[in-house]
Amino acid sequence: MMLQLLTMNRVIFTNGCFDILHRMHIELLTFCKSRGDYVVVGLNSDKSVKILKGNNRPIFCQEDRKFMLESCKYVDEVIFFEEKTPLNLIKRVKPVILVKGGDYEPNEIVGSDLAEVRIFKYIDGYSTTSILEKR
């Protein structure tokens, strides 16, 4: 169970919709794994994705998104959250490091007062939204 593992490992936390898994998602998860032992992904539920991204999203349901993330060798655990932000989940997981994409400033990241923050700098054009706009 997660709680037992958390006491033994350096826990890294990231979160997002991960609606269409693409290269920059994998690069982000690789970055997370290189910073610690146990990577927890907070995954927006279908309901929260709709609130954040609109009624046409998510493309894949939460169970499919979770399955894809759990299949990645850089991810140790995936936990859904329903709220707009993962703050309550961060409080439960108690990570050492929070990782977010380069479109955020460290002080803008939810939970930045609870853990060290690392920003992953990614390449423009690899967001799910930009991929969908090309269709």
pLDDT in tens, 7-49: 558 999 999 999 888 889 999 999 999 999 999 999 999 999 9
pLDDT of residue 102: 76
CATH number where 51 lies: 3.40.50.620
Within a domain: 69 = yes
pLDDT of residue 133: 67
Q: What is the pLDDT of residues 64-82, one digit of tens each?
A: 999 999 999 999 999 999 9
Within a domain: 21 = yes
Residue 46 backbone dihedrals phi, psi, to 5 degrees: -55, -45
Within a domain: 6 = no
Maximum CA extent, the chain:
45
Instruction: Write down the mean pLDDT value for the chain.
Output: 89
Within a domain: 15 = yes
Domain that holds residue 112: 11-133
pTM value?
A: 0.88
The number of folded domains in the chain is 1
Within a domain: 2 = no
Spatial separation of the C-alpha atoms in residues 62 and 52, rounded to whole Å:
14
92: Cβ contacts below 8 Å, ≥ 6 apart: none
